[in-house]
Amino acid sequence: MAGAPKLAGRPYRDRAPQPRGRGEPLTIFASCMADRALPEAAVALERIAVAAGFDVGFPKGQWCCGLISANAGDFAGACKLNTSLVASLRNSKGPIVTPSASCFGAFTIDAADWGAKRASELAPRFRDSTRFVLQLLEQRPELVRRSDQRPRVAYHDSCQSLRQLGLKREPRRLLELAGYEVVDIPDIAKCCGFGGTFSVDWPGVAARLAQWKLEAIARTGCSLVASDNPGCLVHIAANARARRQEVRIAHVLELVAERLEPRPVSAR
């Protein structure tokens, strides 16, 4: 299929660290997409958390939150997956931070509507990575190095982040604190075409939406694009490859991690 996403050669779970037993604990829930298709997002979250002094853990038994099954109308299957995820994370420690805005929304907001009865046990511990890292940098700006150079980055608002989670100012502020100049993509509310299983069920329409998004990105003059949604990122990147459009597509956390000071400033 043209514009099909690529799976990573090495998923995040194969490179995730074991807790060191030093520092405040933090658990990463990678999500299927970040684990298998965009492990760079989870690696970036890990790097930022370690730089801030957290003791990072990744329970290897974690899998899907159930969102993909729910998107396909299989709510019973979604509930089973969600219950399994809760079981795999129940003994973890600290905040549970995910680089997937969609999975954060699914677990903390949508799961109850599917009939998933266990999600509420862990929902208070869940954090979306954008707000979490923004709070870190607001409290500890010394984590990122200062530079006179401010690379321009076009920001893509995912539908879930913008509409369900109300994330608009936060990712832009995060990038600004990390030393980037943020450029809005024209028609920011227009979908990129990923939409979970939508891009599988309606690949032609999804590709057309991605084309519109890539044309809008080109109008910004930016060669760098960021978002907080791994699904959007892999979909846009796949269609950029199909169009041979030279543009770097990166998770917002990747860009923050690239601006970290070389060594942790202090341990918690």
Assign domain 12-135 to a CATH class: alpha beta
Give the separation between CA 266 and CA 49, rounded to whole angstroms: 12
CATH 1.10.10.10 fits 145-257, yes or no: no
pLDDT tens column, 183-225: 999 988 889 888 777 777 778 898 899 999 999 999 999 999 9
Which pLDDT score, from 0 to 100, does residue 226 have?
98
Q: DSSP string of 140-203? A: -GGGB---S---EEEEPPPHIIIIIS--SHHHHHHHHHTT-EEEEPSSTTS--S-TTTHHHH-H
Tokens of 151: 């690379």
User: Any idea where the domains of the chain sit in the sequence?
Assistant: 12-135, 145-257
Q: In this model, does residue 2 exceed pLDDT 60?
A: no
> What pTM was computed for the model?
0.93
Closest among 113, 124, 61 to 87, alpha carbons compared: 61
The pLDDT > 70 percentage for the chain reads 96
Please name every residue paired with 155 in a beta bridge, in sequence order, or none if there are none: 184, 226
pLDDT tens column, 18-54: 888 899 999 999 999 999 999 999 999 999 999 999 9
Q: Taking residues 6-25, what's their average pLDDT?
A: 90
Strand pairing report for 224-227 and 152-155: parallel
